[in-house]
Amino acid sequence: MKQNKNIFGNQIVKPIIWSFFLLVFSNSLHSQMSARLNAYGHINFESVFSDTTYSNFSLGEQELFINAKFNDNFSFLGEITLNYSGHGNYRLNIERLRLKYNYYKNHSLIMGKFHTPVNYWNDVYYHARLFFPTIDRPLMFSKWIPVHTFGMRLQGQNIGKNNFGYDLLIGSGMGSEDIHNVFKETSITAAVHWKPTDEMRFGFSGYLTSMDDASEMAAHSHGGGEHEMNMYSGPLDFQMLNASIAYFGEKWEVLNEFSFNRTKTDTLGVSNNISNYTYVGRRFLEKNVAFTGFDVLYTGENDLHTYPYDRMKFILGYKYEYSERLNVKAQIEYYTNIYDDHTHDHSIGSKYEFKIQMSYGL
C-alpha cells in the first residue's frame, strides 16, 4: 500500500491559491459588491426507549450563512455553525467557505471547503434542518459519507435541455481537518446528475481516497442517529459509489440514496459495505407532509473503517410548514439489527425513538 498520499506540493498549491485570490480581488475593485446574510437553526426534543429510557430537549445547530458577489463572475459563500459541546460550551465550525468563479455559462471553478457532492442529500441540504425531509441524515452519514472536502472543484449545472450537471473535485481526504493537515491525504470525487423535470433529479458519483490513519474521520462525523469512533489507526484504501433518485413534486416526494463502498487493509483485506435510505412523503393541503422512511446499513465482518455493523431504521413522521422559513417535524423511529440470530456479535439491540424538531431560517 502506498504510504505517501500527498499529490499536492507547496510549489503547486500556493501559486494557484494566490493567483485565484488576486484574480478575485482585482476584479472586485472595479465593481460593486453585494452580500446577503441568513441564519438557520433548529430545536430538538427526543425520547429514547431502549434498555434505559430518557428524554432530551436541546438546541441543535445554529448557523450563519453568507452569500456575496464580488462581480458578475466571482462569488463567495460561507456557512458557519455553532454546536453545543457540553457544560455550557459551544463549538464553532466552518462548514462551507468557498470562492466561485463562473468562467463560462453554467460552468464554474470553486475553491475552498464545500460539501462533497457524492449524493443528493449532501449536495442540496447541507446543515440547515429546514430543508431536510426527515429529522436526521441517513445512517450512511454517520459511517462513511465524506461530508466535507477542502480543495478545488469544477462544476457544471443545467447544461443542455436535459439539465445535466457534473462535479469533479480534488481535495482533502476523510481524515483531514479544516485547518491542520489539509492535504495530508487526497480524495477524488466525480459526480454527474440529470434533471429530466424541475422536480426530479438522478445522480451518480464515485469517490476514492487512501488514508494513513483510518481512525481520523473528521470529514464524516455527522450522525444519522448513531455514531461510533474507529479504533483502527492503520492505513486503508476507500472506494465508494453512490446513486440518488429524488422527486419532490406537488403531491409526492421520493428520495432514495444508495451507497456502496469497498475498503482494503493489509490486515484484513477487502470488505464490501452497503447502505440504502428511502423516503416517501405525501403532501396534502400544501403545507402538510406525511412521510415514511426506511434506512438500512451493513458493513462487512472484516471492515476496519467503520467496523462490522448492521442496522435497520424505520421512520414514520409528519411535517408542517408554517412558512418557507419555519417548519415542525415529528417522527417515530424504530431501530433494529439486520441479523438478530446471535451469529453477529455486534448487535446493539432494538430501540424506539420519538423526536420533534422545529427548524427555522431568517
For position 32 contacting other proteins by CB under 8 A, the verdict is no
Minimal distance in Å, beta carbon 20 to other proteins?
17
170, 182 in Cβ contact below 8 A?
no
To the nearest whole angstrom, how small is the minimum distance from the Cβ of residue 217 to other proteins?
25
Per-residue binder mask for other proteins (CB under 8 A), 87-106, x = binder: ---------x-x-x-x--xx
- Buried-exposed string 210-226: b where 16+ CB fall within 10 A, e elsewhere: bbbebebbbbbebebbb
Note whether 135 and 357 are within 8 A (CB).
yes
Burial of 303 (0-12, 13-18, 19+ CB in 10 A): buried
* Measured distance CA(353)–CA(336) in Å, rounded: 12
291, three cell numbers: 412521510
- Residues 62-81, one symbol each (x = binds other proteins by CB under 8 A, - = not), give ---x-x-x--x--x-x----
Positive or negative CA dihedral for 321, 324, 327, 329? positive
Q: In Å, how far are 23, 59, 123 from 66, measured between CA atoms?
A: 21, 22, 17
In the list 23, 200, 218, 332, the residue contacting other proteins (rule: CB under 8 A) is 200
Q: Which stretch binds other proteins (CB under 8 A): 156-164, 216-224, 339-347, 350-358?
A: 156-164
Among 158, 233, 267, 288, binds other proteins (CB under 8 A): 158
CB of 124 to other proteins, least distance (A): 6
Interface pick for other proteins out of 61, 95, 123, 185 (rule CB under 8 A): 123
Nearest approach in angstroms of CB 115 to other proteins is 9
Report how many helices (DSSP H) and strands (DSSP E) the chain contains, helices first.
2, 16
Residues of the shown chain interacting with other proteins in the complex, contacts defined by CB under 8 A: 36, 38, 65, 67, 69, 72, 75, 77, 96, 98, 100, 102, 105-106, 123-124, 126, 128, 131, 157-158, 162-163, 196-198, 200, 247, 249-252, 286-287, 321, 323-325, 361
